[in-house]
Amino acid sequence: MDGSFTGGSNLVLWAKLEKQPNPPPDYHPLICHLLDVACVTRALWNTALSPAGKARLSSALGLSTQEDAAGQWIAFIAGLPALDVLAEEIAEDLRAALEQFEEIGTDLKGS
């Protein structure tokens, strides 16, 4: 990656850095962070979790006969908390848009 920043890119959002107009060349995009978390979780499932632990988690997910599928779900679920960065970004954009509408006299709140 050359460090360039495009507003329409899925690489616009990142975690673990202060918000800046342009990310530094070595920033870590949010999508990469989500994939990292999922991959590490899956590796832990495959190498560190005991068969009894896998069976217990698989059963809790209703996948007692499908441990591989349970491992995939656990890896997916592990990355979800990082999506709060995306939710915060969307909320900020919505607040800014609402303020712009209020400035031009459009009432979107219905009050």
Residue 25 or residue 5, greater confidence: 25
Predicted pLDDT of residue 104: 79
Mean pLDDT throughout 34-44? 90
With a cut of 50, say whether residue 36 has pLDDT above it: yes
Predicted pLDDT of residue 27: 66
Kindly provide the residue ranges of all beta strands, DSSP E only, lying in the chain, ordered along the sequence.
Answer: none
Asked if 99 contacts 106 with a C-beta cutoff of 8 angstroms, the reply is no
Q: What is the pTM of this model?
A: 0.60
Mean pLDDT throughout 49-75? 92
Mean pLDDT throughout 75-99? 79
Q: How far apart are the C-alpha atoms of 32 and 52, rounded to whole Å?
A: 31
DSSP output for 5-37: --TTSTTS-BSSS---SS--TT--BHHHHHHHH
The pair of structure tokens assigned to 28 is 């870590």
Write down the mean pLDDT value for the chain. 77
Residue 4 or residue 45, greater confidence: 45
Mean pLDDT throughout 70-91? 82
